[in-house]
């Protein structure tokens, strides 16, 4: 992406100075409509997989995907929400994340390539190799975006992540992870079929007092690698 070491060093200085920024444009989003608290069940949530191992294998092959929807951050007395568009290509380690207000104003724009991240916030662009720290430094939002690449698909990010499955659908209902020295719990609901896969459209992510709600309106999966392998024959 053409980022020099000097640029990266200057960005670290900018990030350190950004801790005193006002409570962010994101705080102005608190008036947006909040995500539902109810755990909905989809009529389409009938298993298309032989087993949990089958599902993990097939979804691991889906390395290019995009979601759109809404995200809400709730912590103590603060509530912030935004419209979300997130595109990921795991093959070449690139991604693009955009958060916009309900008025369509761009609040946060993130692009990543091969471990270097550029985040545009409040009209300025900052660079760092630590994505989670970069987001928190500028926005004060705790977003486990690295692990969420896997969690959003109902897949473990670490080997010791624990997944619980619904008895009726055999789809993930809960994931527990000790990530970044903290205990995270992710609940999944309202599964719908996108392409050849059943994916959750309601996620509730908790860590201590932090609650993140993700409501996904649409999943777009890469056509080549998301093609269903006929393992049932």
Q: Which residue has the tokens 């719908």?
A: 192
> Which residue bears the tokens 């020295």?
181
Strands (E), the chain: 64-75, 78-89, 94-100, 106-113, 116-121, 124-128, 162-165, 172-179, 182-194, 197-207, 210-221
Residue 143: name the closest of 194, 197, 182 by CA.
182
Q: Residue 1's pLDDT is what? A: 47
pLDDT in tens, the chain (233 residues): 444 434 444 444 444 444 333 334 443 444 444 444 434 444 445 567 888 889 999 999 999 999 999 999 999 889 999 999 999 999 999 999 999 988 888 888 999 999 999 999 988 999 999 999 999 999 888 999 999 999 999 999 999 999 999 988 889 999 999 998 999 999 999 999 998 899 999 999 999 999 999 999 999 998 444 333 333 33
Backbone angles phi, psi at 66, to 5 degrees: -145, 140
The greatest distance separating any two alpha carbons of the chain, rounded to the nearest whole angstrom, comes to 60
Pairwise CA distance, residues 114 & 112, whole Å: 7
pLDDT for 25? 41
Which of 165, 126, 164 has its CA nearest to residue 15? Answer: 126
User: Residues 48, 51, 57, CA angle at the centre, nearest 5°?
Assistant: 85
pTM of this structure: 0.77
Residues 215 and 189: their CA atoms lie apart, in Å, by: 10
Distance of alpha carbon 92 from alpha carbon 113, whole angstroms: 8
pLDDT at 35: 44
What pLDDT does 51 receive? 87
Residue 224: Cβ within 10 Å count: 10
Q: How far is CA 19 from CA 6, 84, 106, 123, in A?
A: 21, 24, 20, 16
DSSP 46: -
């Amino acid at each position: 992406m053409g980022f020099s070491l000097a640029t990266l060093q200057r960005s670290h200085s900018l990030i350190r100075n950004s801790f005193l920024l006002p409570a962010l444009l994101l705080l102005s989003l608190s008036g947006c409509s909040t995500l539902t608290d109810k755990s909905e069940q989809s009529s389409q949530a009938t298993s298309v997989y032989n087993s949990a191992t089958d599902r993990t294998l097939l979804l691991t092959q889906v390395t290019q995907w995009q979601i759109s929807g809404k995200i809400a951050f709730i912590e103590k007395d603060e509530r912030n929400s935004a419209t979300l568009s997130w595109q990921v290509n795991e093959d070449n380690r690139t991604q693009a994340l955009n958060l916009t207000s309900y008025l369509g104003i761009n609040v946060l724009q993130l692009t990543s390539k091969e471990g270097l991240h550029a985040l545009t916030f409040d009209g300025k662009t900052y660079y760092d190799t630590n994505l989670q720290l970069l987001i928190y430094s500028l926005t004060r939002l705790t977003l486990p975006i690295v692990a969420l690449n896997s969690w959003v698909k109902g897949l473990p990010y670490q080997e010791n992540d624990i997944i619980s499955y619904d008895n009726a659908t055999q789809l993930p209902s809960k994931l527990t992870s000790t990530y970044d020295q903290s205990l995270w719990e992710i609940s999944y609901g309202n599964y719908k079929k996108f392409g050849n896969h059943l994916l959750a459209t309601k996620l509730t992510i908790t860590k201590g007092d932090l609650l993140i709600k993700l409501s996904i309106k649409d999943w777009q999966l890469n056509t080549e690698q998301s093609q269903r392998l006929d393992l049932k024959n």
